[in-house]
């Protein structure tokens, strides 16, 4: 009987994995041309400008010199720039760069929208990386090697997940409740 239950659990686990529709990030947020433009950018300032255009950070793409940029958009740009810098440091190809930046953007957005914990974000990242590290179409595509997956997980722990409360505080609107009591006469 115990063997039957274990067998049933394994089958349902396999079925749930195959029933789950994977989400692929290759050239979704950053297209081929955008990724090439990002790689061609000569300076940090140019890279940041290209990232601001890709992620539609309007207050940062305006060319008006006396306009103060939005602090939330600056933080989002810094987030993407740190991720892009990681890709550059590890000599990631255009495909890997596009996939990783889009993946981190989607994870941050989903964590903020659904108020997920860093542990849940880590599990989501592991699942997405698994979908992008094994060649098994249509369930997964091999973009990252096992060593790169480990590097990405360590990087995410040191950046996104460690500082998630900062992002959560900055990106979510602040709500204050003011209670007042009036004396009853």
* 46-55, 62-71, 76-85, 137-146: which is most confident: 76-85
pLDDT in tens, 126-161: 999 999 998 888 888 899 999 999 999 999 999 998
Residues 26, 98 contacting (CB under 8 angstroms): yes
pLDDT score of 180: 83
- And the tokens for 174? 């602040």
For residue range 78-133, list pLDDT tens digits in order: 999 999 999 999 999 999 999 999 999 999 999 999 999 999 999 999 999 999 99
Q: Is 136 helix (H, G, I), strand (E, B) or coil?
A: strand
The predicted structure's pLDDT at residue 170? 83
**pLDDT number for residue 59:** 67
At 179, the pLDDT band (50, 70, 90 cuts) reads confident
Q: What CA–CA distance (Å, rounded) separates 10 from 101?
A: 34
**CA 69/CA 63 separation, integer angstroms:** 11
Percent of the chain with pLDDT over 70: 84
Give 6's pLDDT tier (boundaries 50, 70, 90). Answer: very low
Sorting pLDDT into bands at 50, 70 and 90, what band is 73?
Answer: confident
With 0-12 CB in 10 A as exposed, 13-18 as middle and 19+ as buried, what is 139? middle
Domain boundaries, given as residue ranges, for the chain: 23-171
Q: What's the pLDDT score for residue 118?
A: 93
**What burial class does residue 120 get, using C-beta atoms within 10 Å of its C-beta: 0-12 exposed, 13-18 middle, 19+ buried?**
middle
Among 3-7, 45-49, 94-98, 178-182, the range with the most confident prediction by mean pLDDT is 94-98
Write out the two tokens for 181.
Answer: 């009591």
- What pLDDT score does 2 carry? 47
- pLDDT score at 67: 67
What is residue 116's predicted lDDT score, i.e. its pLDDT?
92
**Residue 101 CA, distance from chain mean position:** 6
Euclidean distance between CA atoms 82 and 101, whole angstroms: 10
pTM over cut 0.85: no
């Amino acid at each position: 009987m115990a063997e039957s239950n274990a067998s049933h659990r394994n089958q349902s686990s396999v079925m749930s994995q195959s029933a789950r529709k994977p989400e692929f990030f290759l050239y979704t947020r950053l297209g081929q041309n955008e990724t090439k433009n990002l790689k061609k950018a000569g300076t940090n300032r140019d890279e940041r400008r290209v990232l601001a255009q890709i992620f539609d950070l309007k207050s940062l793409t305006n060319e008006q010199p006396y306009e103060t940029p939005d602090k939330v958009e600056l933080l989002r740009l810094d987030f993407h720039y740190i991720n892009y810098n990681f890709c550059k440091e590890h000599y990631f190809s255009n495909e890997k760069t596009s996939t990783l930046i889009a993946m981190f953007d989607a994870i941050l957005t989903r964590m903020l929208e659904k108020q997920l914990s860093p542990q849940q974000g880590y599990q989501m990242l592991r699942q997405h990386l698994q979908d992008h590290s094994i060649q098994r179409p249509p369930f997964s595509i091999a973009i990252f090697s096992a060593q790169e997956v480990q590097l990405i997980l360590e990087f995410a722990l040191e950046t996104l997940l460690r500082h998630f409360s900062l992002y959560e505080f900055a990106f979510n609107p602040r709500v204050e409740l003011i209670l007042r009591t009036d004396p009853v006469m």
